[in-house]
Amino acid sequence: MILIALLALGILIILQLLYNVLWHPLKAYPGPTTAAASRARITYVTITGQKSVWLQNLHQRYGPVVRVAPNELSYMKHEAVRDIYGGAHANGHLLNDDIVFAAFENDKATILTADEDTHARFRRVFAQFFARQNLTAFEPLFNKYCALLVRRLETTEQNAFDIAELFSFTVFDVMGHLLFGQSLQLLEKSGCIDWARGQPGWIRASVTAAALTEFPIVKGIYQWLLRAAIQKPRKRYFDFANQLMRQRLHKDVHDPDLVAFATSLPKADRISEEEVTLNTPILMLAGTETISCLLSSLVADLLRHHNVLQRLTAEVRATISDPSFISIADVRKLKYLDACIKEAFRRYNPVPEILPRVVGPGGILVAGRWVPGGTRVYVSMYATSNASEYFHNADRFEPDRWLEDPHGLYAGDCRAALQPFSVGKRSCIGQDMTYYTLRLLMCSLLWHFDISSELDVNEWLSGQKAWEVWRRAPLLVRVEQRTSS
Ligand code: HEM
């Protein structure tokens, strides 16, 4: 009996594989046959953190659109960003992935998973809070944590620091203050350190679970056996954020923060305290992991390009006269710093694949080609922004390409191919805050210190893996008080 059942299952699987390769509506799209036949390959590269590099290799071999799984297309085409995320027919729905981002049972949805109307309500509040006009009110707060970072670097007797982790602590402290009205004290006392360090771990576990449960059999096992174990670290993270928010709601704070902002809005625009609370873990995650990831990639590339590091350091020291308070207007004067930041985004965009969408029932045109309803589509930003089709010397760290020089070597670059924050009604709301934080932290670091490293930075960069966001190994950097002006 068991044998017959196994035989029947085997035949069903073979028929499914044959259908996927020979008759599926996506059969005309290029890609490896094994990937078209089953999700096994994409699952393997996803759970081992190699998906982004795998996608890049596939695009180099098969072209700008690749069928990477039976029902999934990856794009390395900048027009696809508009069509999938921003176009009039773009499907605004995130893949309803109930493991990585969805709320827990009995909780309402967050900005990432809410229906269109609720999403628009949430977005109005959070986007205003993080908007450029509002950010000036936070300048003192940002500068306070920058000064703490500098003090920590000055006072320690350590030989070399994991600068990636210190950046992460700084961003956590800033975000903690903005969201919960209190310092998380990561820089001062290493408070909440387990919470901050636990973040990449639960993201990885959730991404792994999400990939595995695409297989119906595993989904059954997951629901019955693994769900609680896999969700435990994620739940711990969310519970701690909720606890911080409860503390905030029971006290008055003087600095501007999210709660003060949300309650000051006209009644019609407000969202409830419960809704603010539900969203804060998502805001925390979105704001911290990404910025610290970009900062460490930028420092790594600066360390192996001494001429760029020297030129940038000189620009910072010549432009910033008072490092104890660096405003948004101050940092915007630094054109070369901006070029370096953009180049770091191009090379190591923190979110290597823009979040997937599922095409609605009627199908849509993406980059001029028809995609049937139900297909999962996304842009591999890592592959796109590193493609030689769009950028000259794409595999080199060349900040000069972002400076205005209409006749220069990089005049032919397609700058629109870099869209690290996505576009459209679900694009990133943290762009202004990101740019201020990146510029401010780099200014503070380079104004005060000369940096160097004994690490093999090439190896550091090439060994990176990604689970939604790149996961960094410690970046050990030697930091000495500056010797030149
Ligand atoms: C290096 C920094 C950052 C990068 C590269 C980045 C990138 C992205 C990307 C690619 C998306 C998805 C857009 C889509 O699905 O179409 C996104 C969404 C989002 N980001 Fe960021 N982000 C960064 C920093 C931040 C910061 C500082 C915040 C502040 C809290 C933030 C909050 C959000 C939120 C709330 C969403 C969801 C928006 C929505 O669904 O309407 N991000 N981000």
Q: Is 209 helix (H, G, I), strand (E, B) or coil?
A: helix
Ligand 1 centroid to 422 CA: how many Å?
8
Alpha-carbon distance of 58 to 380, in angstroms, equals 11
Rg (CA), the chain: 23
Contacts of 57 (CB under 8 A, 6+ apart): none
**Nearest atom in ligand 1 to 291's CA:** 1
As given in the structure block, the two tokens for residue 446 are 């380079």
The per-residue pLDDT for 97 is 42
Whole-prediction pTM: 0.93
Averaged in consecutive runs of 10 residues, what is the pLDDT profile of the chain (485 residues)? 89 94 97 97 96 97 98 94 77 47 63 87 94 91 95 83 91 94 87 86 86 82 74 85 91 83 88 90 91 94 96 97 93 96 96 89 90 93 96 96 90 96 93 96 96 86 88 88 78
What residues line ligand 1, using a CB cutoff of 6 Å? 85, 111-112, 123, 126, 130, 283, 286-287, 290-291, 294, 350-351, 354-355, 420-422, 426-430, 433-434
Residue ID of nearest Cα to ligand 1 atom 42:
430
Q: pLDDT value at position 245?
A: 92
Write down the pLDDT at residue 98.
43
Structural contact between residues 352 and 381, judged by C-beta atoms closer than 8 angstroms: yes
Query: By alpha-carbon position, which residue is closest to atom 20 of ligand 1?
Result: 428
pLDDT at residue number 95: 46
pLDDT attached to residue 55? 98
Beta strand spans in 343-475 (E): 357-358, 364-366, 369-371, 376-379, 449-452, 465-467, 469-471
Q: For residue 443, what pLDDT is reported?
A: 96
Looking at the CA of residue 381, tell me the nearest atom of ligand 1: 10
**Roughly how many angstroms between the first and final C-alpha of the chain, as a whole number?**
82
Dihedrals phi, psi of 449, to nearest 5 degrees: -130, 155
ipTM higher than threshold 0.90: yes
* DSSP run (H or E) holding 478: strand 476-481
**What b/e readout covers 63-85, taking b as 16+ CB neighbours within 10 angstroms?**
ebbbbbbbbbbbbbbbbbbbbbb
Q: What is the pLDDT of residue 280?
A: 92
- Quote the CA–CA distance of 309 and 287 in Å, as a whole number: 26
| Residue 255 to residue 227: CA distance in whole angstroms | 40
What is the model's pLDDT at position 90? Answer: 53
Q: Are strands 357-358 and 65-69 parallel, antiparallel or unpaired?
A: unpaired
Which residue's C-alpha comes closest to atom 17 of ligand 1?
A: 428
CA angle (235 as vertex; 239, 295 as ends), nearest 5: 85
Helix (H) or strand (E) holding 476: strand 476-481
